[in-house]
Amino acid sequence: MEIWINPACSKCRSALSLLDAEGAEYTVRRYLEDVPGEDEIRAVLERLGLEPWDITRTQEAVATQLGIKEWARDAGTRDRWIAALASHPGLIQRPIITADDGTAVVGRTEEAVRDALSR
């Protein structure tokens, strides 16, 4: 399994602590440094079963600058959202855990992290 984290994020640190406590084997990806490309974001969205606007941190300053809250949320703008996430990785919700079974979860709660561990 792989976990996308921002080390400054308390939710990410909590998820890592839980993974460690459970003895999970995982790889850490500091996605602000090792930025995922558009194809990777599409693949993770597929694994999550979500759309890009579902994992976008719309309260970030760059989101305000881009006017993201006003963007349409439909198939016609999906690529625009994905391009924004690839160009501004700080907009990506975290942590994201990709499970060994090909699924993924946004691990913001203990329940979600445990869900990833059970896969």
Catalytic residue among 1, 9, 32, 43: 9
Residues 94 and 6 sit within 8 Å (Cβ to Cβ):
yes
Q: Is 18 helix (H, G, I), strand (E, B) or coil?
A: helix
- Count other Cβ atoms within 10 Å, centred on residue 78: 16
Scanning the structure block, which residue is given the tokens 């976008």?
56
- Count other Cβ atoms within 10 Å, centred on residue 58: 13
**Spatial distance between the Cα atoms of 116 and 36, rounded to a whole number of angstroms:** 20
Residue 102 is classified by DSSP as S
The answer to whether residue 9 is catalytic is yes
The residue type found at 93 is Q
What amino acid positions are annotated as catalytic residues?
A: 9
